[in-house]
Amino acid sequence: MSTPELERLTLGFIPLLDAALPIIAREAGFFADEGLEVALSRENAWSTLRDKLASGLLDGAHMLSPLPLAMSLGLSRAPCETLAPFILGRGGNTIVLSRRWSEGMHDIGEDRDPRDNARRFAARLHAHRGEPPRLAMVYPYSCQHYQLREWLAGADIDIDRQVALGALPPPRMVEALENGEIDGFCVGEPWGSLARHCHVGRVVASGAQLWPAHPEKVLGVTASWALRYPTTLAAMIRALHKASQWLGASPEHARRAQGWLALPPYLDHSVEHLETLVPDAPPAWQSLVGDPRPTAEIMSHVAEHLDQHMRESGRVLDMRTLSTCYSPAHFDAATHQ
């Protein structure tokens, strides 16, 4: 096995449950086993993480699954060809409304249609005469944004007139809801279940109900970095793959991983309410141990949303860019598939 071109790396992450695999790979020694010394840099916002990756301040990052494609297409910033060679997690998003706006709504479950609560929300909106409720998502080019829009549109809610959408960093969501700055949000775990645990909001829908088994987070690296350091990338992919297999091997491993995530450099106290790290159950139906191999086909739903955005400004999604961004080639080479 070839020696990695780089010995020391810095990977960025946002404090979310699906940053677990890089944290596990570092704490359990899987990066070290591959000859890598990895520092994990906690970032506060997706735009900050995006810019640091593009400028070379980060070697790689835990990223929203649509973000590498948005970066490659030059959406919200100058184009930067970016790859997503590994899936870090599926599901995990929740739509939360404040206690005021969720009054009378039911708790979600496997037998519940997520549109039921959307229709109840629509009825409240039609009777509302004040300012539109303020709903937050984490980034314009995110599954959270698109899932929130689909949930609202499914109840014939006029998104441009009846609600006000804005972006907030995930760690700000619960505090902003409690303080009345926003009236609801769509975010990844642990922030939705934390809002419920703190009795400041109700989980009224799950992203996994809307998009079952959809990739939510990926490893992101720039194409130029991958070309320059292919052996380092392969070592990083193998370490993350080992972390995923280790996490799914036993409940004891999940408990140990949860302890690592609760350390101050990572998610700190925000995970203390969780009974387990990988519940794959309501309210988030999050999976951190599924198939990590990317393909363009499994990103087709996100591609449709991005294409719609681009058509509004006279552009069309380049399918070659989509295929390159989510190619399984680097994963297959690293794992010899």
Residue 191 confidence (pLDDT) = 97
Distance of alpha carbon 333 from alpha carbon 337, whole angstroms: 7
Phi, psi dihedral angles at 258 (to 5 degrees): -65, -35
Residue 110 confidence (pLDDT) = 60
Residue 77 has pLDDT above 90, yes or no: no
Q: Find the distance separating the first CA and the last CA of the chain, reported in whole Å.
A: 16
Q: Between β-strands 201-206 and 164-167, what pairing exists: parallel, antiparallel or unpaired?
A: unpaired
Q: What is the DSSP secondary-structure string of 273-286?
A: T-S-S----TTT--
Return all residues near 99 (Cβ < 8 A) that are at least 6 apart.
199, 200, 201, 202
Residue 277 has pLDDT above 90, yes or no: no
Residues in the chain: 337
Mean pLDDT computed over 45-64: 98
Residue 114 has pLDDT above 90, yes or no: no
- Lowest mean pLDDT across 184-193, 254-263, 279-288: 279-288
Residue 295 CB neighbours (<10 A): 15
Entry pTM: 0.96
Apex 305 CA angle, 67 and 324, nearest 5: 50
Tokens of 181: 């700055």
Could you tell me if 71 and 82 are in contact, meaning their C-beta atoms sit under 8 angstroms apart? yes
Of the pLDDT bands very low, low, confident and very high (cuts 50, 70, 90), residue 290 is: confident
Distance of alpha carbon 108 from alpha carbon 259, whole angstroms: 28
4-21 tens-digit pLDDT: 999 999 999 999 999 999
Residue 83 has pLDDT above 90, yes or no: yes
Residue 128 CB neighbours (<10 A): 12
- Return the bridge partners of 13, or none: 42
Residue 283 has pLDDT above 90, yes or no: no
316-334 tens-digit pLDDT: 998 999 999 999 999 999 9
203-248 tens-digit pLDDT: 999 999 999 999 999 999 999 999 999 999 999 999 999 999 999 9
Which domains does the chain show, CATH number per domain? Answer: 8-91+214-335 (3.40.190.10), 93-210 (3.40.190.10)
